[in-house]
């Protein structure tokens, strides 16, 4: 049975053409920097996003951590949103492994960090304080797209105050496609960016960190220390390259499907649905309905992280027909359900 899996866009299966590219990849030992497929991917990604150099790593958690550890040293701090992945969902790696103090700041409803808050949280040069070195933003954040003029203002402010800027761009391609702008345009203002190939872009494994050449060279020391030095990684890089070449513009379909799904579900009285901007959205489900709903969906081949606050995610293995099937399954369940 083929599952309709709405838990995340990380669940995508490599397509036949992607698998063929992986099988055909010419490989070497990337710790010696002589895997030609990895090198090609790194150069291609750097050029695509407008950076000097790139580094392929096993996960976005690792590319973010490498970036934080390269930007900041022991006793430094970075400004980050309370809801940001690098702060909330990466096991505290910056503090645990990097000796970097996070300064979390409340995210606004649109996912941004208020400019006044950024300014207020930058510490003066005083021995009592950690040294504020870096502003880290995330785009998309919880499926929301940061506004380009906000990014320009926030990164200019950070630079004017002597801070560097990093973007957790796990889903930055979704932000670009949503706005109809280029990948170069969407990352403007950030000194470094981490991009996940294993989310909506559909590769099985991997992220790239992009930035200045010297920064990436320094970052490779941390990557090795963190256990991210891979050998014949060209097999994986071939999939990542294929994803960047073929699966960027099609993200628009995922956005469209998310909107269709949200619209369909918003017709059900028991649910409260927030309309998506990209491929991720949230809905509130009565607590008492969650367990029987989860079971009912599972019996129909639908997987979702059902809870009082449920996140649904569309991706390249979710078709329009799947969306219609999911809406019908929810409708049937709630027809019969009484609190």
Ligand X SMILES: *Cc1c(COP(=O)(O)O)cnc(C)c1O
Residue 329 near residue 297 (C-beta atoms within 8 A): yes
Distances (CA, A) of 110 to 84, 146, 193: 13, 7, 20
Distances (CA, A) of 230 to 209, 233, 264, 276, 310: 15, 6, 44, 37, 36
Task: By CB under 6 A, name the one of 198, 278, 296, 314 that touches ligand X.
Answer: 198
Q: Which of residues 25-64 bind ligand X (CB under 6 A)?
A: 59-61, 64
Task: By CB under 6 A, name the one of 165, 207, 277, 279 that touches ligand X.
Answer: 207
CB of 147 to ligand X, least distance (A): 18
Chain length of the chain: 339
CB of 333 to ligand X, least distance (A): 29
- Residue 284 three-state SS: strand
Residue at token pair 């990337």: 30
Q: Is residue 138 close enough to count as binding ligand X by CB under 6 A?
A: yes
Q: Is residue 21 close enough to count as binding ligand X by CB under 6 A?
A: no
Distances (CA, A) of 173 to 139, 244, 245: 9, 9, 12
Which CB, 64 or 259, lies closer to ligand X? 64
Q: Is residue 196 close enough to count as binding ligand X by CB under 6 A?
A: yes
Which CB, 85 or 133, lies closer to ligand X? 85
DSSP string, 27-90: ---GGGT--HHHHHHHHHHHHHHT-SEEEEES-HHHHHHHHHHHH--TTEEEEEETT-HHHHSS
CB of 131 to ligand X, least distance (A): 25
CB of 139 to ligand X, least distance (A): 9
How far from each other are the two terminal CA atoms of the chain, in whole angstroms?
32
Which CB, 9 or 322, lies closer to ligand X? 9
Which CB, 88 or 147, lies closer to ligand X? 88
Which CB, 4 or 170, lies closer to ligand X? 170
Residue 136 near residue 168 (C-beta atoms within 8 A): yes
Task: By CB under 6 A, name the one of 25, 66, 85, 167 that touches ligand X.
Answer: 85
Q: How many other CB atoms sit within 10 Å of the CB of residue 160?
A: 9
Which CB, 235 or 289, lies closer to ligand X? 235
Which CB, 88 or 123, lies closer to ligand X? 88
Ranked by CB distance to ligand X, the top (closest) residue is 60
CB of 247 to ligand X, least distance (A): 16
Which CB, 247 or 296, lies closer to ligand X? 247
Q: Is residue 255 close enough to count as binding ligand X by CB under 6 A?
A: no
Residue at token pair 């390249």: 316
User: What is the DSSP-derived secondary structure letter of residue 204?
Assistant: S
Radius of gyration of the chain (CA): 21
Q: Is residue 170 close enough to count as binding ligand X by CB under 6 A?
A: yes
Number of residues counted as binding ligand X (CB under 6 A): 11
Binding residues for ligand X (CB under 6 A): 59-61, 64, 85, 138, 168, 170, 196, 198, 207
């Amino acid at each position: 049975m083929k599952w309709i899996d709405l838990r995340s866009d990380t669940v995508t299966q490599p397509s036949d053409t992607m698998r063929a590219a992986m099988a055909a990849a010419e490989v070497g030992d990337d710790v010696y920097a002589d895997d030609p497929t990895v090198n090609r991917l790194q150069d291609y990604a750097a050029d695509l996003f407008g950076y000097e150099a790139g580094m392929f790593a096993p996960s976005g958690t690792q590319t973010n951590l490498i970036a934080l550890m390269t930007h900041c040293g022991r006793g430094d701090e970075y400004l980050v949103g309370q809801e940001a992945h690098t702060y909330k969902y990466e096991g505290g790696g910056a503090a645990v492994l990097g000796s970097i103090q996070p300064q979390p700041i409340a995210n606004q409803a649109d996912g941004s960090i208020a400019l006044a808050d950024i300014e207020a949280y930058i510490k003066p040069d005083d021995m009592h304080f950690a040294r504020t070195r870096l502003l880290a933003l995330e785009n998309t954040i919880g499926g929301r797209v940061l506004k380009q003029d906000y990014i320009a203002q926030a990164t200019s402010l950070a630079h004017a105050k002597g801070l560097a800027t990093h973007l957790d761009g796990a889903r930055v391609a979704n932000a670009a496609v949503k706005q109809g702008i280029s990948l170069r345009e969407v990352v403007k203002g950030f000194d470094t960016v981490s991009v996940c190939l294993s989310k909506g872009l559909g590769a099985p494994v991997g992220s790239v960190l992009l930035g200045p050449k010297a920064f990436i060279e320094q970052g490779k020391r941390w990557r090795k220390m963190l256990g991210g030095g891979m050998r014949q990684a060209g097999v994986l890089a071939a999939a990542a390259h294929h994803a960047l070449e073929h699966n960027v513009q099609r993200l628009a379909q995922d956005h469209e499907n998310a909107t269709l799904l949200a619209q369909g579900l918003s017709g059900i009285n028991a649910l409260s649905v927030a309309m998506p901007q990209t491929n991720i959205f949230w809905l509130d489900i009565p607590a008492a309905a969650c367990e029987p709903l989860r079971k009912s969906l599972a019996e129909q081949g639908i997987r979702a992280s059902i809870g009082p606050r449920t996140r649904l995610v569309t991706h390249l293995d979710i078709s329009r027909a799947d969306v219609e099937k999911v809406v019908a399954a929810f409708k049937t369940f709630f027809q019969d359900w009484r609190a």
